[in-house]
């Protein structure tokens, strides 16, 4: 067998083609330890209580802001941590390993609330919002989903018209995270600003005509804030346009791509947390005179989930690395989102099964993990949307 010689001018050393570094840098490892210590030491002791009381974790958000976690992937010049996307994914993973409500609060704020300001805002908008966002003093929200515009993202019905130097907005959004807390600052919404034209507009909380609805009663993510929004003649200055007029569709598609990395990290974290709990319980639980972790059926479940987590983690980290390198990461992010969401559901289910009857009791974390997992196959684009994205990328 002979290796085909590369075309002239395109050869590279074989070592460079094969070299893949799976190790975290010292800085990334330090950030991972920081997030893990915080999650285990501060989040874990209160996670069950926050979920049961459906209480937003204000104190934890404040602490994450003080630790620099709320703005970790943004430049230090704006008050951020100056870290890369992989470091950010590591933080989200460690939080979701313990509690998904805290994980999604940070992830939605960072990927959906802060990113549009950083990526598409002008210097005035960045100066106004970025320091508070990065410090965790202000939460940002992203308003895309509507009754007719979720998976069909281009079918936006909310409208905005220019009138006397102001955008006048009418419409509604739903399932919006971080929009109704005491520290919510704004929502960046998609709206039709002309025929065949979608734009993004910043609507600060407290704007007359902008109303935040009652929090949804949800299956999971009970300590996160998710609400419907309505706009009835809401007026904001013309300069609240985010980026060029008519570029809204491209902007929110880029935002969703980045958001899929963070949701993938949540899937990996939840699956790892479920495995952690299942393994610990299996070691302690005695049946037929020995630990149930010694039974082949239990070992098979643990081994399969562990292997799938390892593969899903690499796929998620690959998407983060591609984003950091400025490469097209849409396909990898969609693949990671599809893989990790399904894995989270399966891992949580298997963890409940290993716990037996106790897995159905709320005091055990796996019960919460099970409820929290399903949304990971829906939010940031359903599994079916990810399959469409992947199939198109393959040329199908």
Structure tokens at 47: 């996670």
Q: Please name the residues in contact with 29: beta carbons below 8 A apart, sequence gap of 6 or more.
A: none
Catalytically active residues are 380
Name the percent of the chain lying above pLDDT 70: 95
Assess contact for 108 and 177: CB atoms under 8 A: yes
Q: Which tokens sit at 114? A: 């802060």
Residue whose structure tokens are 């009970």: 222
| pTM score over 0.75 | yes
CB 343 within 8 A of CB 309: yes
Task: Give residue-wise pLDDT tens across range 204-221.
Answer: 999 999 999 999 999 999
The DSSP 8-state label assigned to residue 241 in this structure reads B
- Give the pLDDT confidence of 294-303 residue by residue, as tens digits: 999 999 999 9
Q: Would you tell me the crossing angle of helices 248-284 and 296-324 to the nearest 10 degrees?
A: 150
Coil, helix or strand at residue 394: coil
Q: Is the pLDDT of residue 370 over 60?
A: yes
Distance, in Å, from the CA atom of 270 to the CA atom of 376, rounded to the nearest integer, reads 10
Q: What is the pLDDT of residues 125-169, one digit of tens each?
A: 999 999 999 999 999 999 999 988 877 878 899 999 999 999 999
The DSSP-derived string for 3-15 is PPPPPTT----HH
- How many residues in total does the chain contain? 396
CA distance 309 to 304: 9
pLDDT in tens, 17-29: 445 678 999 999 9
Distance, CA of 316 to CA of 333 (rounded, Å):
7
Those residues whose C-beta lies under 8 Å from the C-beta of residue 8, and which sit 6 or more positions away, are none
- 3-class DSSP assignment, residue 151: coil
Q: What domains are defined for the chain?
A: 26-139 (1.10.540.10), 140-245 (2.40.110.10), 249-393 (1.20.140.10)
Residue-wise pLDDT tens digits, 328-359: 999 999 999 999 999 999 999 999 999 999 99
User: Tens digit of pLDDT for each residue in 75-127?
Assistant: 999 999 999 999 999 999 999 999 999 999 999 999 999 999 999 999 999 99
Taking the CA atoms of 50, 55, 57 and 58 in sequence, report the sign of the dihedral they define.
negative
Please state, in angstroms and rounded to a whole number, the distance separating the CA atoms of residues 296 and 223.
37
Asked whether the beta carbons of 231 and 207 are under 8 A apart, the reply is no
3-class secondary structure per residue, 92-129? HHHHHCCCHHHHHHHHHHHHHHHHHHHHHCCHHHHHHH
pLDDT at 226 over 70: yes
Identify the burial level of 337 via C-beta atoms within 10 angstroms of its C-beta, where 0-12 means exposed, 13-18 middle and 19 or more buried. buried
* DSSP secondary structure code for residue 150 in this structure: S
Q: pLDDT over 90 for what percent of the chain?
A: 91
């Amino acid at each position: 067998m002979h290796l085909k010689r590369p075309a002239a001018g395109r050869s590279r050393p074989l070592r460079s083609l094969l070299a893949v570094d799976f190790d975290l840098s010292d800085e990334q490892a330090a950030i991972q330890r920081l997030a893990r210590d915080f999650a285990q030491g501060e989040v874990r002791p209160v996670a069950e209580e926050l979920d049961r009381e459906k209480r937003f974790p204000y104190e934890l958000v404040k602490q994450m802001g003080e630790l620099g976690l709320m703005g970790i992937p943004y430049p230090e010049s704006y008050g951020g941590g100056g870290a890369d996307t992989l470091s950010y994914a590591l933080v989200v993973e460690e939080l979701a390993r313990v509690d998904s409500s805290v994980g999604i609060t940070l992830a939605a704020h960072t990927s959906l609330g802060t990113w549009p300001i950083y990526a598409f805002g002008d210097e005035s908008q960045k100066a106004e919002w970025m320091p508070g966002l990065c410090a965790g003093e202000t939460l940002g929200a992203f308003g895309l989903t509507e009754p007719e515009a979720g998976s069909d993202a281009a079918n936006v019905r909310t409208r905005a018209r220019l009138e006397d130097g102001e955008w006048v907005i009418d419409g509604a959004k739903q399932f919006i995270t971080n929009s109704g807390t005491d520290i919510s600052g704004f929502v960046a919404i998609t709206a039709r600003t002309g025929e065949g034209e979608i734009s993004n507009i910043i609507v600060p909380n407290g704007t007359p005509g902008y109303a935040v609805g009652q929090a949804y009663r949800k299956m999971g993510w009970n300590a996160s804030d998710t609400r419907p929004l309505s706009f009835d003649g809401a007026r904001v200055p013309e300069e609240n346009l985010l980026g060029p007029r008519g570029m809204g569709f491209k902007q929110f598609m880029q935002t969703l791509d980045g958001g899929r990395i963070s949701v993938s990290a949540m899937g990996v974290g939840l699956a790892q947390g479920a495995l952690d709990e299942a393994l610990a319980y299996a070691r302690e639980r005695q049946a037929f005179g020995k630990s149930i972790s010694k039974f082949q059926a239990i070992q098979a479940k643990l081994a399969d989930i562990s292997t799938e987590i390892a593969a899903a983690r690499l796929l998620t980290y690959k998407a983060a690395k591609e984003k950091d390198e400025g490469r097209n990461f849409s396909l990898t992010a969609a693949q990671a989102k599809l893989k990790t969401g399904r894995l989270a559901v399966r891992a949580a289910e298997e963890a409940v099964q290993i716990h037996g009857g106790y897995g159905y009791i709320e005091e055990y974390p796996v019960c919460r993990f099970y409820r929290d997992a399903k949304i990971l196959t829906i939010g940031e684009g359903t599994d079916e949307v990810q399959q469409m994205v992947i199939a198109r990328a393959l040329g199908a």
